[in-house]
Amino acid sequence: MITVIGNLKGGSGKSTVAFNLAVWLAVHGERVSAFDLDPQRTLTDVAEVRSDEGYTPLFSLHYGGADLVDELTSKSGEVIVDVGTADMEALKSALSVADRIVIPVPPSQADIWSTQRFLTVIDRVTTQKKPQICVFVNRADTHHSIRESDEAEEALGELDGVTLIHNRLHQRTAYRRSFSEGVGVFELVPWSKASKEFKSFAGILYPETREKKGK
Ligand SMILES: Nc1ncnc2c1ncn2[C@@H]1O[C@H](COP(=O)(O)OP(=O)(O)O)[C@@H](O)[C@H]1O
Ligand SMILES: [Mg+2]
């Protein structure tokens, strides 16, 4: 299945989610091909750190632009694609072949608006094949008295044609640390809150893989 992690805004957590999903799938024994179509190359950099530091399992990583889309569609196993807006052609090509588009949305009004804009881009580009579109709140506040994440989730729930994943990922230093070390957030401290919420999130996206035993 081709899962594209996308959003028009930078910093929403696309590469973080793409990396952690790729590692989680690999840990569960899936064949994973990750494609980094964002010229920022964050996913490529973090995959390199993982490999240099000797962590396993690894996943295959391909980087480039729209020309990679043919290769992407030829892969068996799970395909994870990280896309940004710096290469719009690559973004549109990836969206057009996606089985599923996963959109991380930070809890702010500006991010809700840009998500709405992104949905119109998706609609325009996906003329041949309509992918499933999943949205979820990333970088949610950990403090319960702050209501912004609830409000953001409510607004996302009102969008047409999208599946809202209620499993939020919160703003936690573990995500930043795991990224700089090249390990999945669930590998860093397996019993941490970040680990639990991410595994539960990944299991919602890949219910069949969840049933397999992780390493
Ligand atoms: N849930 C989170 N909690 C804390 N930091 C996060 C979270 N998600 C992303 N980040 C951090 O935010 C920054 C941008 O994330 P990144 O995944 O590179 O975003 P994008 O790929 O959408 O531009 C990175 O430093 C990353 O570690
Ligand atoms: Mg990125």
Q: What is the pLDDT of residue 145?
A: 74
| Residue range 53-87, pLDDT digits in tens | 999 999 999 999 999 999 999 999 999 999 999 99
The CA 185 to ligand 1 mean position distance, Å, reads: 12
Query: Does ligand 1 have an atom closer than 6 angstroms to the CB of 3?
Result: no
User: Going by C-beta distance under 8 Å and a sequence separation of 6 or more, which residues neighbour residue 4?
Assistant: 81, 83, 94, 95, 98, 100, 101, 102, 131
| The domain made up of 2-205 is a member of CATH 3.30.1050.10 | no
- For 114-131, the pLDDT digits (tens) are 999 999 999 999 998 899
Decide: helix, strand or coil at residue 105: strand
d(CA 173, ligand 1 centre) in Å: 10
Share of the chain above pLDDT 90, in %: 94
Instruction: List CB contacts of 85: < 8 A, sequence separation 6 or more.
Output: 8, 10, 91
Q: Please name the amino acid found at residue 14.
A: K
168 lines ligand 1 (CB under 6 A): no
Q: What local confidence, expressed as pLDDT, does residue 47 receive?
A: 98
Give the ligand with the smallest distance to the CA of 11. 1
Half-sphere exposure of 77 (CA within 13 A, CB side): 16
Alpha carbons 2 and 181: distance in angstroms, whole number? 26
Res 76: pLDDT:
94
Whole-prediction pTM: 0.97
Q: How many CB atoms lie within 10 A of CB 197?
A: 19
CB 15 within 8 A of CB 102: no
5 touches 118 (CB < 8 A): no
Ligand 1 proximity of 186 Cβ (cutoff 6 Å): no
14 lines ligand 1 (CB under 6 A): yes
User: Does residue 42 line the site of ligand 1, with CB under 6 A?
Assistant: yes
